[in-house]
Structure 1
Amino acid sequence: AWICIVRYHQYRDWGVKKWFNQLILWTGLLCALGTSVVGNFQEKNLKPVHLAGAFLAFVFGNTYFWLQLLLRWQIKSLPQPGAPWIRPLRLVLCSLCTVLIVAMIILHTRLLRSISAICEWVVAMLLFTLFGLLAVDFSSLEGCTLCLQPGPSLGPPPVSPTSPALPLSQVS
C-alpha cells in the first residue's frame, strides 16, 4: 500500500491528471487489500473469502501495472529512469500475468486445482517482480515528505472525558 501511495505522489509531482492518478492508486490499494485477505484467510478454512481476496490481489494488481504502462506510453514527457529494456520487460510481465490469470480461472473451474495453484503462485511472483521493478522509478527520489493539512472544522473540538469542560477563557 505504501508503494502505491508513494507512486501516487510521484505521479502527482510529475503532473499526471488527478482522476487517472487516483484510478491507479485505488487499483493498487485494492491489490494490497486482496493480498492481505489472501494471507489472512486460508483457502481450506474460508474458501469464498480467500478467492475474493485472490481476485482483488491478482486482477487489480495486474490492472495496476497495465494502467501504469498505459500512462507511460501515452505521456512521453514523463521521466523514464532506468535502462531502455525496463519498459518492454514490464510489458512482457504484465502480458504473462494476464495470460496466467485467465488460465488460473479456467483451470480452477475445471477442477484442475493443482495446476491452477501453480499459475496462482507464478502470478504472485510476477506481481512481486513488477513491484520490485518500481525501485528503478524510485531511484530518482531524493526524499518523500507527507504533509497533513487540517480539514474544515465542523465545530468545537470534543471535550476530554477525563477533564471538566471549561471554556478556554477560564483555563489559566
Structure 2
Amino acid sequence: MNKDTAEIEAQLDELRGAENFIGFCAFDLFLDNDESKRKDGVLKISRHNITPETGFLKFTFIVDVYGDKLLRKQVLELFSRFHDNELKSETDPDFMYIKPPEPTNQKDKSWFIGEVFFHFDSINGSSRENVYNFFLPFLTLRLPLEFSDLQWWETEKEVNEQKKSAIQAITDFIISKF
C-alpha cells in the first residue's frame, strides 16, 4: 500500500459520521488488465438497518484519479459493468449500483466514488462471514480488483465485552492471590 492509499484510509475516519461504518480495506484496481495501470483505492463498508433484522450493506469504492478525466472515465467504465443486463439474473432484485455523479467542483474531480448496495433480509445476511464468502468474491468477479485484508471497526458491544472480560480477568487474578 502506498502513501496515497494511507492518506485515504486516514480520511475514512472523518467520513464515518452518522453512518454505521463497519469496515474498510485497501484494494488494487487493474485498468485494461494491465499490471502497470494498477490504481490504489479504498473500500468502505457500512451497514444500514431498515428493521432490526433487515437492511442493506453499502460498499463505497474510493479511487484517486488525480483529476484526470481519461482515468476517471476508465474507472467509471469498469464500474458500469454493474449495469449489465446479465447481472440482473444473477443478483437479488434489491441489489443496486449507484452511478457516480459528474464531479461538481475541483475537489470532487480528484476522486472517483462508486457505491454498490446489497440488501439483506436476516441478521446473518450482513455477517462478517457473508461479507468474506459472498459479497467480496461477487465484487471480484465483476471488477478487476484485488482486496487487501479487511479491517473491521469494533462495535460498542464488542468494546464493552472486551472491557468486561479484562476487568473479570483482573478480578479473577486478584481473587486467586488471596
Query: Is the TM value for this pair above 0.5?
Result: no
For CA contacts below 8 A with separation 6 or more, give which structure has more relative contact order. 2
Q: Which has the higher helix share?
A: 1
Q: Which has the higher strand share?
A: 2
Per the normalisation by structure 1, the TM-score is 0.30
Instruction: Name which one, 1 or 2, has greater alpha-carbon Rg.
Output: 1
